[in-house]
Every structure is written in C-alpha cells, then in structure tokens.
Amino acid sequence: MKRLDDFRLRMGRHELVPIVIGGMGVDISSADLAVEAARLGGVGHISDAMVKTVTDRRYKTKFVKAKQAQFQYNVASQDKSAVKFNLEHLAEATRLHVEGTMARKTGSGLIFINCMEKLTMNGPKETLSVRMRTALDAGIDGITLAAGLHLGSLALVADHPRFRDAKLGIIVSSLRALQLFLKKNARLARLPDYVVVEGPLAGGHLGFGMDWAQYDLATIVAEIVGYLKQESLDIPVIPAGGIFTGSDAVRFLELGGAGVQVATRFTVTRECGLPDPIKQEYFKAGADDIEVNQISPTGYPMRMIRSSPGIGDGIRPNCEAYGYLLDANGKCDYITAYNREVAAHPDQKRVSVMDKTCLCTHMRNFDIWTCGDSASRLKETSVRRADGTYQLLTAQHVFQDYQFSTDGHVQLPEAEALPA
Ligand SMILES: Cc1cc2nc3c(=O)[nH]c(=O)nc-3n(C[C@H](O)[C@H](O)[C@H](O)COP(=O)(O)O)c2cc1C
C-alpha cells in the first residue's frame, strides 16, 4: 500500500513532498503555517487578501486607518466610486507581508501567495498588477492565481525580471477554464508551472454554480490530465477539495495528479490564523451545520458553517476602510442589498441583510467561517479534553499524517499533559 511520501512533486529543479497547503484568505493560512509547510518539504501559501489589515496586525502599520481617514467624508454616501486604493501603500503592505514571511523560510519547500482576481479593489488591473509585481520583488517563490479566470493576469507581469523564474500557477474547476487560460496566454510563451484543480467539496469560494453537487473532482482531474497528455503539455496537476487522508491523496496521485492541495484539516492547527475559539467551532461542526450559499458578493457560491455570525448581519458597508470587493465601477452587491434593506426599513436602527454579506468586514473579524465539506470530520482528527474542547494539532502533525498514513487512517495527536 503506497503512502503519499512515495511520490514527489517536481516543479522545475525542485523535488517536493507532494502536499500543498492551500491559500486561506485574510491570514487563515498564516505565515506560520506556510513556513511550516516549507520546512517540512512541501508548499505553503500565504494570501494577499486584505493585506493592509494583515500587516496592520502583524507589523503595527496603520494602512487601514489612513484609508479610512482619507475617505471619511464619503462614509454616508451610497456611491463608493471615489474610494480608491493608494497603490504605494498597497505595495508597501504586500512587501512587508511577503518579505516578513520569506525571511523566516527554512527547509527545501516553497512558499507561494494566493492572489484572488475577485478582489477587484475598485481598480482591478492596477491593483492586481501591484500585488503580483510586489510579491515577485519581495522574493515570493510563486503566485497562485485564484478566484477568477485570470485571462489577463500573467500579461501584467510579463516584463518582470522574475516572470520566467518564479512559479506561476492557476486554480481551475473545469477543463474549459484551463483551456481558456492557456489560449489567452499562448502569446506569452509561458505555460503555468502547475494547475490546481479544485473540486466542489473545497472551502472558500467554489468555481461552480449552485449545482456544485453534480460535479466530482476525480472526473474533472481525469479530464484535465487526459487533455494535457493529448496536447503533450507537461504541467503538474494538483487536485484539491475534500482530500481528507493520505490514502485519499494517493488515489489522486494514481489518477495522474502530481500533488494535492489541502486546507480544511489545517484550520484546527496552532499555526492557523483563526482565533482559537473559532477553531473549536470547526471541530464541533457536523455535516448538517455546513452549507453552500450565495451570500458572498463575489457572485461565487461559498461553503461555510451555518452559525457564522456574519450571516444575516446588516452592518454598514465599510468600503472606506476596506473596499476589496468594489468592482471597476466602485460597486459591490452587498452595498446594493444593504441600501435596499435600509430603504425598506427606514425606522430600524440596524437592518438585517440575508442575501449578501459584507465579506470584507466579516472576513476581517473572522465572522464568516468558511470551510471544506470535510470539516464535519475534523473531530475525528483530535482528542477531546475533559471540558469538551478539542486539542489543537500542530501543522507538522497534520502534514506528516497526510505524508505517511495508509489505509485511510488518521493519526491522533498524543494527549497533552494535564495541568498539575
Ligand atoms: C478557511 C478556508 C479559507 C479559504 N480561502 C481561500 C482563499 O482565500 N483563496 C483560495 O483560492 N482558496 C481558498 N480556500 C480553498 C483552499 O485553498 C483549498 O483549495 C481547498 O479548501 C482544499 O480543499 P479542502 O479544504 O477540502 O482540503 C479556503 C479554504 C478554507 C478551508
């Protein structure tokens, strides 16, 4: 019986343990988690979602306050089109985040950054260009293009000195999305270094409609592996979504995958950026406590724990401070939904908005508990303490469980010593 450790993920001159910890926005896949993945010989991700908030927390910068102060005059206005990002601040925040992470990197693994196209930031092209260029300048090993088709993203950095040396990959959920990406980028004469194929059981946003349950990761992976073979394209394929044990992972490598991307099992590690009480919510969640809904203003379905405090909350849009989801015209579906509710309930002090959520504010406050379908099994991966809480795991424990386990087995951690 094979173990994941019997395989290696080859990317250029790198030979990696074939485990990629996926990007989890607003510092859930923290620098601590990414550094551990690299130390253990795999691939870790940081994310540049709400990077100003992340650096304000980690490096005591004041980027959010500065933006809020600059646009304070606009808070009561429904028109957010004037609320633009200061590109120098955006670059500085990205540089701090990436350099701070890369300075701590040890081991033979790699650290990538997850860049979501749906973070349109009231200026999609210029902000994405700054995000990608600065990450490359600051020494990131690679960029994973996420949450979008990214038809023009590679061209934004085609003249960067590291364009051909950094690892650049994309997340897709269908062969069609990959074909479009390859076609649009053909003139750059640069293939992606890897393709993450994310199926319908993943956490975060889904690249499917609300008919997601009709799709199956293994089928999509087989289709994409077959297509790349037929076209003689040598691009490592990395399946993701619902891969819970080392044996699940081995099955995907035997199907032609080069590695796997996993995330949900790492949400209950010490290194994960979620606050500890929320990690307990992830442990406790049962299958019925998890839903896929359409409250994300990005337009993509999103999977989350039903009791997430951000669901149904009617907070005033906070675009002056954040504004990451404002489209090219300064619009966001949450603003529309919020204004509709305020107009319908003029006497109410605080409205409730059920159909959309202010994702910036709520992800910043860890009030939307997004997770993969397999979160309902997290309780199987740890030990319950006498007080009913679950023992947190180390990233090393979870990583090595994927790497070495067989027969669908999940290794429990050693029970921690009780306080004297
Ligand atoms: C808490 C959480 C947050 C996530 N955030 C992002 C994100 O910001 N960007 C992204 O591309 N994928 C995101 N994902 C998806 C993961 O990177 C990964 O591809 C997927 O969840 C793998 O499936 P698994 O969780 O079943 O292992 C997130 C997943 C989780 C669990």
The number of the ligand 1 atom at minimal distance from the alpha carbon of 25 is 8
Report pLDDT digits (tens) over 214-244.
999 999 999 999 999 999 999 999 999 999 9
Compute the average pLDDT of residues 173-202.
98
Compute the average pLDDT of residues 167-181.
98
Distance 262 CA to ligand 1 centre (A): 8
The number of the ligand 1 atom at minimal distance from the alpha carbon of 201 is 26
The Cα–Cα gap between 66 and 51 comes to 14
Distance 416 CA to ligand 1 centre (A): 29
pLDDT at residue 73, rounded to an integer? 98
Beta bridge partners of 240: 198, 261
Using alpha carbons, list the distances in angstroms from residue 339 to 334, 362, 415: 8, 18, 51
- The enclosing domain of 270 has a CATH number of 3.20.20.70
The number of the ligand 1 atom at minimal distance from the alpha carbon of 45 is 17
DSSP state string for 142-160: EEEEESS--TTHHHHTTTS
Contacts of 339 (CB under 8 A, 6+ apart): 78
**Whether pLDDT at 415 is above 90:** no
pLDDT at residue 1, rounded to an integer? 86
* Residue 245 lies inside a defined structural domain of this protein: yes
Altogether, the residues listed in the chain come to a count of: 420
Q: Are 136 and 160 in contact (CB under 8 A)?
A: yes
* Residue 415 lies inside a defined structural domain of this protein: no
Percent share of the chain, pLDDT over 70 = 99
* Residue 46 lies inside a defined structural domain of this protein: yes
Report pLDDT digits (tens) over 250-263.
999 999 999 999 99
pLDDT at residue 150, rounded to an integer? 98
| Beta pairing class for 204-205 and 194-198 | unpaired
Q: Are 131 and 146 in contact (CB under 8 A)?
A: no
* Residue 409 lies inside a defined structural domain of this protein: no
pTM above 0.95, yes or no: yes
* Residue 419 lies inside a defined structural domain of this protein: no
Report pLDDT digits (tens) over 391-406.
999 999 999 999 999 9
**Whether pLDDT at 333 is above 70:** yes
Total structural domains in the chain? Answer: 1
**Whether pLDDT at 418 is above 80:** no
* Residue 233 lies inside a defined structural domain of this protein: yes
User: Ligand 1: residues within 6 Å at CB?
Assistant: 22-25, 28, 47, 49, 114, 116, 146-147, 171, 198, 201-204, 240-243, 261-264, 267, 370-372, 374
* Residue 317 lies inside a defined structural domain of this protein: yes
Q: Cite the beta strand spans of 4-88 per DSSP E.
A: 9-11, 14-16, 19-21, 43-47
Pick from 20, 21, 24 the residue to mutate for probing ligand 1's pocket: most ligand atoms within 8 Å of its CB. 24
Compute the average pLDDT of residues 78-104.
98
pLDDT at residue 108, rounded to an integer? 97
* Residue 192 lies inside a defined structural domain of this protein: yes
Contacts of 419 (CB under 8 A, 6+ apart): none
Report pLDDT digits (tens) over 287-302.
999 999 999 999 999 9
**Whether pLDDT at 420 is above 90:** no
Q: Are 109 and 312 in contact (CB under 8 A)?
A: no
**Average pLDDT of the chain, as a whole number:** 97
Domain extent at residue 249: 4-404
The Cα–Cα gap between 185 and 150 comes to 10
Amino acid present at 169: G
**Whether pLDDT at 335 is above 70:** yes
Pick from 143, 197, 215, 264 the residue to mutate for probing ligand 1's pocket: most ligand atoms within 8 Å of its CB. 264
Residue among 393, 402, 395, 23 nearest 204 (CA): 23
